[in-house]
Amino acid sequence: MTYSPAEMMATVAARELRDGEVVFVGIGLPNLACNLARATHAPRLVLIYESGAVGAEPERLPVSIGDPSLVTGSLMVCGMADVFQFLLQNGRIEVGFLGGAQIDRFGNINTTVVGSYQHPTVRLPGSGGAAEIAIHARRTIVISRLSRRAFPEAVDFITSPGHRMRGRTRSELGMPGAGPVRVITDKGILEADEDTGELVLASLYPGVTADEVRAAVGWPLRCRGTALGVEPPGEPELRLLREVLDPDGLYLRS
């Protein structure tokens, strides 16, 4: 059964989630990944949105993290002061999903500006809750398509810290969470090296070579000794994604 890169990414992300975990969810692929996980191996996953919905079970595909379908039938809806102080900063979030226009060698993410802050070539949306998710979630998972533009050696602006920021480590800076442990791309999976915090190639999708990945990354990408192959989405996963979770192909078509 053929599948799109987005379907592969959603499936790989779903497999990262363990049953019962508390996940801070974004819209798009992270939302699909969480709902795929809930429908398969992790029925007790708790989804939290920065908008204040906890334990959401949306009856339609939400198009924003403030979608009304995330409220109706959820377990709790609280104000954003509670979300950020009493849930995220409190340490209750086990997994956070992040994405961004630029991701660099050390997992730093830029969603603020391309170019200089004062005179940007492209003004991006900014942090939203990403900076604090990157700091507080016990681990984060990044989802992004590979390209040299998206994976520079160093981001133009650190919106969400990775593993090494201007030479300093997370633990030196006193960050509670473990940071981006996986970067799920459309060609393979990068992981943070435990010693250096540098992103290295950990697994390749079927039919992709390490050189293809290297060519799409702006630094000399190292490869784990044992870069594993990744099981593609199976028929049950694809059926769920296509027929139940995103029947209009809003996020999965490409």
The binding site for another protein (CB under 8 A) comprises: 22, 27-28, 46, 50-55, 57, 63-69, 71-82, 84-92, 108, 112, 117, 120-132, 134-136, 157-161, 165, 168, 170, 173-176
Closest CA to 103 of 198, 194, 14: 198
From the candidates 16, 21, 50, 94, give the one annotated as an active-site residue.
50
Distance CA 104, CA 119 (A): 21
Whether 183 contacts 103, CB under 8 Å: yes
In the bound complex, what is the minimum distance in angstroms from residue 23's beta carbon to another protein?
11
- Kindly tell me which of 50 and 198 has the beta carbon lying closer to another protein: 50
- Kindly tell me which of 26 and 233 has the beta carbon lying closer to another protein: 26
- Kindly tell me which of 60 and 148 has the beta carbon lying closer to another protein: 60
Closest CA to 37 of 237, 254, 247, 249: 237
Name the token pair of 146.
């590979």
Distance CA 247, CA 254 (A): 14
- Kindly tell me which of 70 and 238 has the beta carbon lying closer to another protein: 70
In the bound complex, what is the minimum distance in angstroms from residue 6's beta carbon to another protein?
15
Question: Any catalytic annotation for residue 50?
Answer: yes
In the bound complex, what is the minimum distance in angstroms from residue 226's beta carbon to another protein?
30
DSSP, res 231: P
132 three-class SS = helix
In the bound complex, what is the minimum distance in angstroms from residue 183's beta carbon to another protein?
17
Angle among Cα 118, 161, 146 to the nearest 5 degrees reads: 85
Catalytic residues: 50
